[in-house]
Structure 1
Amino acid sequence: MTVTDSPTTAPFRPLGSPRVLAGISAGRALTWAEHRAIHGTPALRARAWLTDAARAVNLLGRGGASFPVVVKIEAMPLGGPMTVLVNGSEGEPASYKDRALMTVAPHLVIDGALVMAHALCASGVTIAVHDHLAHAALTRALAERPDAGTVVLAHTRTGFVAGEIRAVVTGLNTGLARPGGRRELPHDHGLAGRPSFASNVETFAQIAVLARLGPAGYASTGSRDEPGTSLVTLVGDVVQPGVLEVANGTPLADLLPGRPDAPVLVGGFHGTWVRSTAGLTIDRAALRASGSPLGAGVIARPLAGTCVLAEVAAVSHWLADQSAGQCGPCFFGLPALADDVRAFAAGRGSDAQLLRRAGQVRGRGACAHPDGAAQFMTSAIGALADDIAVHRAHGSCGRPPSSIFPLPRRTS
C-alpha cells in the first residue's frame, strides 16, 4: 500500500483543449499576471444571469454528489447576510484533483468564488483547505490580487469524513468536524449560522470559466447532456497517472486502453467496481444511471498480475476506521463489513452475509460515508467474482497484493 503525504506532486495534463488547466506546465502555479493573460479578470455576473447560465449548460457540482449548481443558487435567500464557502478539504485519498487545482491554478478557484459572491451579494468568501501545498499557493495568490479583500483561508482537519461539506461547516463553526446530519444543509445553516453557498474547488473553477465564456462558449466542448470539461484522477494501470482534464462525454475506454475485462474502480473510495468500461463515458447522469457514479472523479485500474482483493480488504478497513463514531450503523457496521471483505481475500466469505450487513448500514448514517463505503465493498465482491473463486479454491491467488491506492499515515 503506497503511503503518501503530498499527492499534489502528480502530473497534470489536458486531453484536448484545456480550460481549467489552461497554461499549466510543470506543476507550477500561475501568477496573477499569467492568469489574467489567459483568463482575464473575473467576469462578474448578476444572479439572474448566473442562474440562467448554470441551467443552460446543466452545470453539475464536481464533488461526490454532482448536485446541480442552479438548484444551490436558487436555494439561497434573496437578501440578508450570507457567505460563500469553497470546500478544499479533499479527504478522498485516491483523488487529488482539487488539491492539484488549488496548487497550480489558485486564481481560477478564487475567480469562481468571487463571481458567486458578487451574484449573491454575499458578504465574503471562505476557502477551507488542509493540504499545505494548496494552502501556500492560495496564500501567495491572495497576496497578489487587488480584489481579494473579502476572501479568507481557513485551516480544516485532514480526514475522509471531516472533508464532507457539513462536517467542514460544523468544524469551522465549533471546532468539531463531524457531519451535522443529512437535513442540515449549508444554504440553511452555514458558516456562523448564516446561509452559505458551498461547493468543492473544481465547481468554482468551472463557474469562473462559465462566467467568462458564457453558455454558448462553455457548451462548445463536452457532450450535449453535460457540456464542458471535468478533472479526473487516473490511478494505477493507466497511460499516465495523475490529474487529467477531459471533455465530458469522453469514453472511459479512451482513458484505459487495453485490458478490456480488467476490474476498474469508478468514483474513488465511495465508488463502484466494474468489470468492463464498455459504454461508460465521463457523463455524470449517465454514469449514475449505470450504477457507477463518477463521485470524486477517480478512475483506477489495478496493475495486471496483482491481487486486487488484498487491496480492497485494506481499503475497506481504512474506510471503517474513518467513521466519525456518532452513528451505530457506521461505527459498528463498517468494521463488520470490512471483516467480511477480508474473509473473501482469505478464501472464505459469504455473499449473503455481506449484502445483509450492507443493507443494515445504508441510509442510516448522519452522512453518506456508510453508504459509500458499503458500495465500495459490495461492488468489489460482484466485480471480482472470478478472483474470489480462485481464492476459495486455493486459499489465495498467489499474486502480490495490489498497491495502487495511497492511504495517509495514521497520526494517532
Structure 2
Amino acid sequence: MRLLTNGPLTPLAVPDRVTLINEVLASGLRGRGGGGFPTGRKLQAVTGRKRVVVANGCEGEPDSLKDRVLLRRSPHLVFDGIQAARHAIGATDAVLCVHEGSPLVAALRPTAAARGVRVVEVPRRYVASEESALVNFLAGGAAKPTVSPPRPTERGVLVDNVETLAHLAVVARIGAEAFRARETTLVTTPTGVHEVPVTTRLADLVTGPVLAGGYGGVWLADAGGLTVGEAPGVAVFRSPRECGVRDTAAILAYLAAESARQCGPCMFGLPAIAADFAALADGVPGALDRLRRRLPVVTGRGACAHPDGAVRMAASALAVFADDVTAHATGAGCTTRRTA
C-alpha cells in the first residue's frame, strides 16, 4: 500500500487496542519526523488521565516537502492514522498542526471537522514544531521547546509526524507482516518528493556529497551503500548548492536566527558558531581554530536538540569538505570554485 497513490479506502476497521499496539511494535514502524523513535513504544509510553493525539504537519525542515505533498494527496490516510492512534491510547481529543498561512488549511478543515479533529495553525519558526514546543503552544504558551522531563507522553500527549500516522493507518489496515514486506518512506531530494521502499539505496536517488537528514543532519561525502531506511533523521537529502563551506555557513546563519533564544547554547553558542563559519568561508585567520574549540562545548546543553543538530551538521561539514575547509582557512580560496 503506497501513501501517495492510494485513493480513499474502505472504512478503517481498527483492531482492539492491545492488538493494534502489538502490531505496530511488530511492524518496526519508526517516527518519520526526524527522531526515528519506535512508534509502538511511543504509544505504550503515553500516560495520564486526559490523552490527546497531535498530528505534526508543520514540516519545520526548510528543505522538506514530503508532509505537504502527503496532506495534499492522501489526507485520508493521515486522518485514519489519527483515528488509529486515538484508539490505541484512549485519547479524547485530536489536533492537526500546520504552519500559519498554509494553503492546506482551507482544504483540510472540513474533513478534519467531520473526523473530530481540530486544525491548529502554528507560527512559522524552525523550532516551533518541535514536540515540546507544540505541546506548550497548544496549552496556551509560546511555541518554544520546554525542558524535559516530563516528556509530552508523560503528560498524556502523543505527538507524531503526519507521515508516521499515515503509516500507522497502513499497519492497522494490513498488519505488521504485510507492512514489513512493502514498507516505503517519503523522501525529499533535489528533484522533488519520492515514495520509495526503505531498502532503496541512497546512491540511486542522489550522487556526490549530500546533506542527509536536513539542517540538523550530517553531510556525507557520498551516499555509498547506505539505504534510505538507514539514513539519519528525516528523509531530506540536499546536494551542495555551491561550495560546501559557504552552504554550511548559510545554513548555520539560518539556524542561529531561528532559535528560541531561551538558553545559552542558542543565545550565544549558535550565533558564535555561525559567525565563525562565515569567517572561515571568507578566509579570516583563526576562524577554524575557534570552531574546533566551540563545537564540542555546545552539545548537550540546550533545552532542546536544536543546537545539537546544528553542531552535528557543522562538524560533519568540516570532515566531508576537508579540502575546501583547508583552502578557505589558508586563504587559498575555494577548491570547488577553482575546479568548477
For 1:280 and 1:352, the matched residues in 2 are separated by 32
Please tell me whether the aligned partners of residues 299 and 311 of structure 2 are also in contact (alpha carbons under 8 angstroms). yes
- Asked if residue 67 in structure 1 is aligned to residue 30 in structure 2, the reply is no
2:152 match: secondary structure: coil
The residue aligned with 1:280 is 226
For 1:367 and 1:134, the matched residues in 2 are separated by 28
CA 1:254–1:395: 2 relative to 1, 3 Å: closer
Counterpart of 2:122, as a letter, is T
The counterpart of 2:20, out of the listed 23, 43, 50, is 50
Pairwise CA distance, 1:203: 0.6
For 2:55 and 2:218, the matched residues in 1 are separated by 27
For 1:76 and 1:203, the matched residues in 2 are separated by 16
- Asked if residue 380 in structure 1 is aligned to residue 317 in structure 2, the reply is yes
Counterpart of 1:211, as a letter, is A
The residue aligned with 1:238 is none
The residue aligned with 2:168 is 207
The residue aligned with 1:340 is 276
- Asked if residue 247 in structure 1 is aligned to residue 197 in structure 2, the reply is yes
Please tell me whether the aligned partners of residues 82 and 196 of structure 1 are also in contact (alpha carbons under 8 angstroms). yes
When the two chains are superposed, the root-mean-square deviation of aligned CA atoms in Å is 2.0
Q: Which moved more, 1:164-173 or 1:97-106?
A: 97-106
CA 1:219–1:389: 2 relative to 1, 3 Å: same
Pairwise CA distance, 1:179: 0.9
Please tell me whether the aligned partners of residues 87 and 200 of structure 1 are also in contact (alpha carbons under 8 angstroms). yes
Pairwise CA distance, 1:396: 4.1
Pairwise CA distance, 1:398: 7.9
1:154-210 per-position Cα deviation (integer Å, ceiling 9, x unaligned): 111111111101101101112411111132311122xxxxx1121111110000011
The residue aligned with 2:217 is 271
Please tell me whether the aligned partners of residues 324 and 336 of structure 2 are also in contact (alpha carbons under 8 angstroms). no
1:53-85 per-position Cα deviation (integer Å, ceiling 9, x unaligned): 1111211011111111111111123x7321111
TM-score, normalized by length of structure 2?
0.93
Counterpart of 1:371, as a letter, is D
Pairwise CA distance, 1:41: 1.6
For 1:310 and 1:80, the matched residues in 2 are separated by 50
Pairwise CA distance, 1:397: 4.9
The counterpart of 2:5, out of the listed 22, 27, 30, is 22
Report the count of equivalent residues: 336
The residue aligned with 1:406 is none
- Asked if residue 233 in structure 1 is aligned to residue 183 in structure 2, the reply is no
Which ranges of structure 1 fall in alignment gaps of 5 or more residues? 1-17, 24-33, 190-194, 222-227, 236-240, 288-292, 403-412
For 1:219 and 1:172, the matched residues in 2 are separated by 34
The residue aligned with 2:263 is 327
The residue aligned with 1:3 is none
Please tell me whether the aligned partners of residues 277 and 287 of structure 2 are also in contact (alpha carbons under 8 angstroms). no
The residue aligned with 1:30 is none
Pairwise CA distance, 1:101: 1.1
The residue aligned with 1:363 is 300
The residue aligned with 2:88 is 119
The counterpart of 2:234, out of the listed 296, 299, 311, is 296
For 2:334 and 2:220, the matched residues in 1 are separated by 22
1:273 match: secondary structure: strand
For 1:302 and 1:180, the matched residues in 2 are separated by 33
